[in-house]
Structure 1
Amino acid sequence: MKFKLEIDKVLSQLLSQEDTDGDKKITIEDIGPKSFQLVSPEGETYQVSGTYHLSNLLQGLARAKENGDIVTEISINEIEELPANRISRIIRNYFWAGLTRTMDVAGIKNLIHDSKNETLISDKLRVYIPFNDEIVFNYYKELESSFPIEVIKLPESITPQYVKSINDKPGILSLKIEEINGKMQGVPFVVPGGRFNEMYGWDSYFESVGLLLDDKVELAKSMADNFQYEIEHYGKILNANRSYYLTRTQPPLYSSLIREVFEKTNDKDWLLSHLKTAIKEYETVWMVEGKRLTPNGLNRFLAEGIGITPEAEEGHYHAILKPYADAMDMTIEAYEKAYANGEIKNKTLDNYFVHDRTVRESGHDTSYRIEGNCADLNLVELNAMLYKYENDFAHLISILLNNDVEGLNIGNRIYTSDYWIEKANFRKQLSDKYLWNEDQGLYFDYNTKTSNQSQFVSATTFTPLWSSMASEDQAKNLVKKGLSILKEKGGIAGSTEESRGKLSDERPPRQWDYPNGWAPHQMMIWKGLINYGYLNEAQELIYRWLYMITKCAVDYNGTICEKYDVVKASHKVDAEYGNVGAQFEYLPREGFGWMNASYQYGLSILNSENIFKLNQLIEPDQIF
């Protein structure tokens, strides 16, 4: 049955009756009658009842109004759509499109109006172009006459000193633009959402998992193509394509992306091109001694920028700077400016900011696991990811050469599958020595300065399952001991409460710690459990995560956001930076990139019996 409705009239009546807190949403916090009557032109009536069905009606009306309609037809099937089915459909049909960007003439307006540009000293958007990309440089120079942009060519050698020198001139970094049918077009990419309106490093991989599941293969392929552009022109996969991220990379997931895209396209020419670039990244970003390769043979993150991070919100570092400002009888603002300009030297602060930037490079910004010592740590997840790089390289070379043992010639060097298998085996031996704790049955980060394992229990302890680096016995211990201390109502927490420690005004919550849970952790853990045959445990964790997201969307007008409190199974989190995706009017338009992907990925693995229970919103503790 369908009802033909005058949009403005019905929308006004619905909000007046049901949106009692005036936030232009219908949620469980509204105290209206929770019942609204629709009347068809033929006089048929239908009572829309309950928060979920009312919010579905609101969203349908709002979407039709955005399309420019005056009258619309709303079907009862749409209003009563099963919640998991609805969330998945909206992600597939609307959210990915809402998050897709390009850096060409069609997409430049989005960048100009991005919230990060509101505080620019210049009234123009700065667009930085690689030194050796004349085609893109000329393309943007032509746009200067039509748009408020300033095109700047980067130097041939990008040093930390140079990047610091342009901190007061922040801008966007160009991505790949190609000629299609005689027209220059930006290669599209997916952004996380909200204020994260650029292409981020590890977000892009997890987003692509969802894109591939939703048959958006070309868009996932484009993400890899932009990764390749960043490596070739900026020397690394960037934290994000902003000028102040030029010295900072992200967790390495490029090999996983190209492998999974290739499994869909079977394009060996494309694969060979990307494999060469991925090996170049491995050698030049991760395996340089004294930088991200540590003396023990394992790896660390190391952001190479200098001083205060320019992207931090005003006042973010005041608590850190205050003792030094007080000692010199200066205001915090004056001290911060003098330190940033090099007028004040402070080696303690210099060291602090090395670790602070490195936390951001790790993707886990912020967590007490790595605060104050990140650049000293062989992190479990980083070495698990590089182990997967090495095995992926072996696998992909064997595909390209049809198992030819002569190897692949890359940069005047021959790489064989056996070479990479040996590298992976060696990394596993080192990981067993430095990262594995037999007594506790968990992986821990290793501090290269103190020569001790950290005792901070994090969700990252499971990443060796994702990369298949753990032995069968190690996997058994991880499942037995790790799940029991990290599993919560809504999935796996970022850490244990004990590891996080007590909180206070001087020690506020950190967003990657207990009680919060994050999509990339869940996705890697599910895959890891399946790798080792722990299918029932995977089903339970997937259900817990999807139940939390689904219940939140049902109760809060379709809300899907960046992170969740998995202890309370709620989107209302107590942590810095807020919760992107929670603030909108009428209907959600984007969700959040890797959260969307986690939903599609989880739903693709969940068995039919559990999907049925999920649509009925049966509490996890009633099932498991």
Structure 2
Amino acid sequence: MWRLVFLVVAVRGAFVDDLPPSCSKLVYCDSQLLHHVQLQRIFKDSKTFVDLQMRNDQNTTLAAFDDLLNETNNNPTAEQLKSFVDKYFDATSELEDWTPEDHTDNPAFLQSIRDEQLKKFGKDINGVWPILGRKVKPEVFEKPEQYSLVPVSNGFIIPGGRFKEIYYWDTYWIIEGLLISGMRDTARGVIENLIEILKKFGHIPNGSRWYYQERSQPPLLTAMMSLYIRETQDIEFLKANINALEDELKYWLDTKIVAFDKDEQSYTLLRYFAPSLGPRPESYYEDYTDAQQFDTQERRNEFYIDLKSAAESGWDFSSRWFIDSNGENTGDLKTIRTRDIIPVDLNAIFANALQNMAYFRAILKQPLHAAHWAYMAKQWKSSIEEVLWNEEDGIWYDYDISNNQHRRYFYPTNIAPLWMGVVDKRLVKKHAPRVMKYLSNSPGLKYPGGIPASLINSGEQWDFPNAWPPLVSMVVNALEALGTDDSKELAFNVAQTWVRACHKGFTENKQMFEKYDAETPGRFGGGGEYTVQFGFGWSNGVVLEFLTKYGRRLTAVDNPDKYGGSSVDSSSSSDSSDLQDSGSDEK
């Protein structure tokens, strides 16, 4: 049996001198070509260039660019760069539209929805799956070296908008929605794609692009498998892939673990940690420009690592990762220190993954393996309780290992241990009144458009006033897990608010958004590095989850005064010009 070996990486230090590039395809990750094209802003969106396919192999492309540098004394003009890109790259999509064969117009879940408007809403959302369906074109498999896209064998559901590839943690809520829509074969194929990627890289990158190679996202693969097995009882599929699931857990244990002391006790938990050289390729201009505020290259390298580590969390970006000189979450990206924070949600997700692995091994009748993972899950849950639970406030908080303190701010992920089912029943009962008091006293659950990612209006997209579907799902399921009448009723009210907001937005715009405005029901969110995206995979999945869970009670009638006003002096500056349609990919 594999034995746990903790690889503890220094929080800060000389390791920056030995960093790998962001990926092994240098054109897209570590080349003068990338640097010049991105800094000259040949494309408004930095992601556009690294999504292009090469017309020739990498060596030919880089050699041709070296010639251009020699001809221009290392200073090509924007026009020369554009001509080079037009000659050596192709914007034709690597994907083709794909309609899943198991999609039906009237899935069974619709019958459980009493409100006719919401029943139509559910049917309309179910109808979006084929619009978001994609399959990799054969030519990508024939010449994979010329693409940044990582080819996968099965069709899949894209998130939408500029996100035209698989994204790791998005897929959890997409899988949930597909299963609700009765699309078991599609869900299985999507999981197979992730396992295919896992076997290729030894982990699942942020997304199915080479430039995401050196960072992952929240490790939800075993949770996806759990959703699928619970729905299908497909034990043979589990048996065929159990070793791959285990390999992913080993990757996180080998690369993301950190040792620290709290209250004179030593602990090891996970953090987001994505060390590699340079800016994120898909946001190269933005990262490079922001890094110029630092005086040394070493400090810039650390800044890049913290940006990538935050991107690994899925929360790119948020005050959640800011640590100013006073240890507070104020400031801006200059104060980002993701590596110094032990996140509640990451460790709850991982404890759940350990539990899932123990369960999987047990149903496969492998008791020794099951006992191993069960023991690790027990230890992880204990560490979460001892490190992240704040007795004074009655809630779990992220922990700052540089200042040895809880980060006592409202984020929906504070109750992630309940969402992931990693709080022992005895403690759930003990904590329930405290958690309910914390939530009742916080303005976070009192907005008419959903639960904001935070109460800090930093201008970053994972902060106020943006409300994100996966965070709302976390809160609803965490409240249900508390098991009291009050918590279950609050869970329903949160779901009701969210479904009504999404329904209003869909009725007005005929689109689901990636994120919403907590202050204005149905309005799309703003802020961050790109305009709001249509689609949208996880938004669809969460609404279908709530329609299925509460379909007999939910109504589409608006009641904007139900939760009262807000306590944050903030407003969204989004307008219709910020919208970006998912549309069809350019063929």
- Global fold match (TM > 0.5): yes
Look up the SS of the partner of 2:189 in the other structure. Answer: helix
Q: Which residue of 1 aligns with 2:354?
A: 390
Residues 280 and 602 from structure 1, CA distance in 2 versus in 1: closer, same or farther, beyond 3 angstroms? same
* Match 2:490 to one of 537, 542, 545: 537
* Matches for 1:88-107 after TM superposition, within 5 Å: 88-93=122-127, 95-105=128-138
**Partner SS for 1:298:** strand
| Aligned mate of 1:358, from 292, 301, 309 | 309
Q: Is the 8 A contact 1:193 1:593 kept in 2?
A: yes
Equivalent residue for 2:117? Answer: 83
Aligned to 1:491, the other structure's residue is in SS state coil
Task: Please point out which of 512, 520, 540 is paired with 1:596.
Answer: 540
Displacement after TM superposition at 1:437 (Å):
0.5
Give, as a single letter, the amino acid of the residue that structure 2 aligns with 1:87. F
How far off its partner does 1:101 sit?
1.3
The equivalent of 1:203 in structure 2 is 170
User: Per-residue deviation at 1:622?
Assistant: 8.1
Asked if 1:287 is matched to 2:253, the reply is yes
How many equivalent residue pairs? 423
Could you list the per-position Cα deviations for residues 425-480 of structure 1 after superposition, in whole angstroms to 9, with x for gaps in the alignment?
Answer: 21122112211111011211112233222223211101111112232222432222
Per the alignment, residue 479 of structure 1 pairs with 436
CA contact (8 A) 1:294 1:300 kept: no
Equivalent residue, structure 2, for 1:552: 505
1-side partners of 2:294 and 2:216: how far apart?
31
Distance in 2 of aligned mates of 1:87 and 1:258: 28
Work out whether residues 562 and 580 of structure 1, in 8 Å CA contact, stay in contact via their aligned partners in 2. yes
**RMSD after superposition:** 2.3
Contact kept, 8 Å, 1:561 with 1:579, in 2: the verdict is no
2:453 is matched with 494
Residue in structure 2 matching 1:513, options 448, 457, 463: 463
Instruction: Give the superposition deviation at 1:619.
Output: 4.0
Alignment correspondent of 1:585: none
Contact 1:465 1:531 in 2 (8 A): yes
Q: 1:299 to 1:311 in 2, by over 3 A?
A: same
Q: What is the aligned counterpart of 1:444 among 382, 394, 397?
A: 397
Match of 1:22 in 2: none
Q: Which amino acid aligns with 1:398?
A: A
Shift of 1:304: 2.5
Aligned-pair CA distance for 1:293: 4.2
Deviations 1:107-146, CA, capped at 9 Å, x for gaps: x6xxxxxxxxxxxxxxxxxx5xxxxxxxxxxx514xxxxx
The residue type equivalent to 1:476 in the other structure is P
Q: 1:313, CA displacement in angstroms?
A: 6.1
Offset of residue 87 of structure 1: 2.1
Supply the distance in 1 between the matched residues of 2:220 and 2:159 (Cα, whole angstroms): 16
Larger Rg: 1
SS in 2 for 1:494: coil
Aligned to 1:432: 385
Deviation for aligned residue 1:400: 1.8
The one of 460, 466, 480 equivalent to 2:413 is 460
Show CA shifts across 1:276-317 (max 9, x none).
Answer: 21111101x21116x434452111111122111110164454
| AA at the equivalent of 2:299 | T
Give, in angstroms, the shift of residue 618 of structure 1: 4.2
Higher alpha-carbon deviation: 215-224 or 451-460: 451-460
Query: What's the secondary structure of 2:321's corresponding residue?
Result: coil
Aligned to 2:48: none
The answer to whether 1:267 aligns with 2:234 is: yes
Give every structure 1 segment of 4 or more consecutive aligned residues whose post-TM-superposition deviation is greater than 6 Å. none
Q: Which residue of the partner structure matches residue 214 of structure 2?
A: 247
Distance 1:622 1:315, change over 3 A: closer
Amino acid at match of 1:558: K
Query: Do 2:150 and 2:210's aligned partners in 1 also have CA atoms closer than 8 Å?
Result: yes
The one-character-per-residue Cα deviations of 1:134-180 (angstroms, maximum 9, x if unpaired) are: xxxxx514xxxxxxxxx32xxxxxxxxxxxxxxxx8711122x3xxx
- In percent, how many aligned pairs have the same letter? 25
2:523 counterpart SS class: coil
Q: CA deviation at 1:266?
A: 1.8
SS at match of 1:434: helix
**Structure 1: distance between partners of 2:182 and 2:545:** 12
Larger mean Cα displacement after TM superposition, 452-461 or 220-229: 452-461
8 Å contact 1:510–1:575 — kept in the other structure? yes
Contact 1:249/1:361 (<8 A) preserved: yes
Contact map agreement 2:294 2:300 (CA 8 A) in 1? no
Q: In 1, Cα distance between the equivalents of 2:417 and 2:543?
A: 22
Distance in 2 (alpha carbons) for counterparts of 1:354 and 1:475: 38
Residue-by-residue CA offset, 1:231-288 (whole Å, 9 max, x unaligned)? 11111111011111010100011111111111222222211122221111101x2111
Partner residue, 2:74:
none
- Aligned counterparts, 1:295-310, within 5 A: 295=260, 296-310=267-281
Amino acid at match of 1:286: W
Provide the secondary structure at the position in 1 that maps to 2:225.
Answer: helix
Give yes or no for contact 1:287–1:293 (8 Å, CA) kept in 2. no
Output the CA distance in 1 between the equivalents of 2:277 and 2:117.
48
Contact residue 466 and residue 525 of structure 1 kept, 8 A = yes
The verdict on how the C-alpha distance between 1:484 and 1:222 changes in structure 2, with shifts beyond 3 A counting, is farther
8 Å contact from structure 2 (residues 513, 524) kept in 1: no
Deviates more, 1:458-467 or 1:522-531: 522-531
**Any idea what SS the aligned residue of 1:102 has?**
strand
Of the three residues 554, 561, 566, the one matched with 2:513 is: 561
The 3-state SS of whatever aligns with 2:460 is coil
Q: TM-score, normalised by structure 1?
A: 0.64
Q: Distance in 2 between matches of 1:451 and 1:232?
A: 37
What is the CA–CA distance in structure 1 between the aligned matches of 2:386 and 2:286, rounded to whole Å?
42
CA distance in 2, matches of 1:304, 1:292: 13
Distance 2:518 2:194 in 1: 32
Aligned CA distance change for structure 1 residues 623 and 208 (closer, same or farther; 3 Å):
farther
CA distance change for structure 1 residues 323 and 400 in 2, over 3 Å: closer, same or farther? closer
Query: Residues of 1 paired with 2:286 and 2:375: CA distance?
Result: 48
Matched, 1:617 2:554: no
Q: Which stretches in structure 2 are left out of the alignment for 5+ residues? A: 1-114, 261-266, 323-335, 566-587
3-state SS of 1:297 partner: strand
Check the 8 A contact 2:269/2:383 in 1, yes or no: yes
The change in CA–CA distance for 1:293 and 1:232 in structure 2 (over 3 A counts) is farther
TM-score by length of 2: 0.68
Deviation at 1:521, TM superposition (A): 0.9
Amino acid at match of 1:368: S
Confirm or deny: 8 A CA contact 2:202 2:247 kept in the other structure: no
SS at 2:544 equivalent: helix
Alignment match of 2:298 (pick from 343, 347, 366): 347
CA distance in structure 2 between the partners assigned to 1:620 and 1:207 by the alignment:
32
Deviation at 1:349, TM superposition (A): 0.6
